[in-house]
Structure 1
């Protein structure tokens, strides 16, 4: 008996992934971390025979994520949910500027796509089974080239985490370009953290970065202008008939395969849709990864008004 904890399951690829994971024979309990209770999805999952719990969380608020993490940990300790075999950090945001500020005074793209994932993994590590897999949804936009982003998303521009986590980290911060740069940079940061988690904890869990490819038809572009939203939802889905794009249903299945172990990969790997592959050359930087970890721990501690976590030995 084991449980799945998943963010971003109410729509898009996360919803399809949750449906696939619910029928995996080792999973008996699904824990949805969501801003609101997705009633329809809860009913669908329970119809497969699994138990379902919903923990309310605002992933843009560090304190809210910390409280949700504590609630999930308490549920495991008390036996209300089985030990966690699968943690899927799938939720993500992309804004049209780099100026969206959270209640903690942080830039929201970085807060949701990076800080929330790190806090969930760090807080739940002790409650994962020995064979647990953790999957963080990332993006091939972190390569920053035409082949991977089709010219639609600006490539990453690395800065110290203390800068990236605040609004206005990029030139012309109120522009669409800056918003997209914030997105690709946050996905690069997420891959850095996957590497660092795998390096610091070689005995488990298996921590993976998953790239679904370009997935039109989801709500990731919900904050874009009307023309861009129309193109993403009505025009670009035709690209899923080509190798250039992935449908939400297929991306959800691939995410479930990465999370369940159907796609084999060692801890720290980057899964490009259905196989392990190298991430960008820039994404392999142990020094940067170590610095990012320390800075993120400090940001989380400041937001939660608590001491920063101790820095364990690196192997």
Structure 2
């Protein structure tokens, strides 16, 4: 087994117990040299409930040094505490620098609005705010030469993407998913009682993913301007529609389709159209691996956003600099980041 000094880097995967998360870990383990030379830190909300991840790790090669870490993305304090502990471990040499930070965890609720103990709408906090805090804090522990940040996106972030009409028209009559950070953060937008059934939750999810893509863009720009961090590359991935537990808060009909029919049909669909609407978690995990270790980094200051293996332009709102800056500033206030909390020079 490679010692900590011999290991090339650390891989962090959030939401590692979910469908895509456990598939990403499976892919890492299947790459024997990668698994042997990198430490794996796999985060979950509750380790006791991480049965899918534990099953995968039971088959890990003996050479793969790994840990299951508890981190609640619905808690600012939990994210801050976890990031601080990881920074101390990297600084002490207990862990090698972070080679790949894979921000996979996600939350979706189509039936109701849930507020976090921090006072923010849970979909927005998990899918955007927690990622902003985690990334900014962990930059000091990233491999400044080869580090890569991969964020899982979604076609739902783009109000003009025709895939949003699969099974309905949740954006019909809407021309924006960004009413302002405060409206999204405080759950004042697309409320369940505003009509539209599951459409209301889908819109909130799409808006949170828009915020995540905005974060990717803004982070890429700011890293590109930092002489010490400009070699850290930022990637986004639209993984398509997959069978995963994120649909557990959807209606019965959608659960039957996602959990019952899709596992049977998706492999056939991937064979016919690898980057099509419906994909297997295995295929999307391979796409994550590709972005982490195979794709040439984008030019400094730029984001590379992929739909499977195809490069895809992000939505018009995600490319709106004024909206991005508004969201970034609001997020900083929400997480109460201080100067010593990040090594990014132009973080404000």
TM-score by length of 2: 0.82
Instruction: Give the conservation status (yes or no) of the 8 Å contact 1:97–1:173.
Output: no
Distance in 2, Cα, partners of 1:184 & 1:58 = 21
- Among candidates 179, 185, 188, match of residue 165 of structure 1: 185
| 1:36 paired to 2:46 | yes
Distance in 1, Cα, partners of 2:140 & 2:277 = 39
Q: Secondary structure at the match of 1:221?
A: helix
| 1:199 paired to 2:221 | yes
| 1:249 paired to 2:249 | no
When residues 313 and 66 of structure 1 are mapped into structure 2, their CA distance, relative to the original with a 3 A threshold, is: closer
Q: Secondary structure at the match of 1:44?
A: coil
| 1:117 paired to 2:150 | no
Shift of 1:290: 1.2
Distance in 2, Cα, partners of 1:48 & 1:20 = 16
Shift of 1:42: 3.1
When residues 309 and 78 of structure 1 are mapped into structure 2, their CA distance, relative to the original with a 3 A threshold, is: closer
Shift of 1:135: 0.4
| 1:75 paired to 2:102 | no
> What stretches of structure 1 of length at least 5 have no aligned partner?
none
* Map of 1:299 onto structure 2: 334
When residues 40 and 159 of structure 1 are mapped into structure 2, their CA distance, relative to the original with a 3 A threshold, is: same
> What stretches of structure 2 of length at least 5 have no aligned partner?
1-7, 225-229, 270-275
Shift of 1:44: 2.7
Question: Where in structure 2 are the equivalents of 1:173-188 lying within 5 Å?
Answer: 173=193, 175-188=197-210
Question: Residues 83-126 of structure 1: CA distance to partner in whole angstroms, max 9, x if unpaired?
Answer: 11000000001101451111111100001100111111101001
Q: Aligned pair count? A: 308
Shift of 1:307: 8.0
Question: Residues 175-230 of structure 1: CA distance to partner in whole angstroms, max 9, x if unpaired?
Answer: 42211101011111111111100101111311111111121x21110111222211
Q: Secondary structure at the match of 1:53?
A: strand
Larger Cα-atom Rg: 2
Instruction: Give the conservation status (yes or no) of the 8 Å contact 2:125–2:185.
Output: yes
* Map of 2:272 onto structure 1: none
Q: Secondary structure at the match of 2:250?
A: coil
* Map of 1:149 onto structure 2: 164
Distance in 1, Cα, partners of 2:93 & 2:26 = 24
Question: Residues 67-91 of structure 1: CA distance to partner in whole angstroms, max 9, x if unpaired?
Answer: 1111211121122211110000000
Instruction: Give the conservation status (yes or no) of the 8 Å contact 2:177–2:210.
Output: no
Question: Where in structure 2 are the equivalents of 1:57-72 lying within 5 Å?
Answer: 57-72=71-86
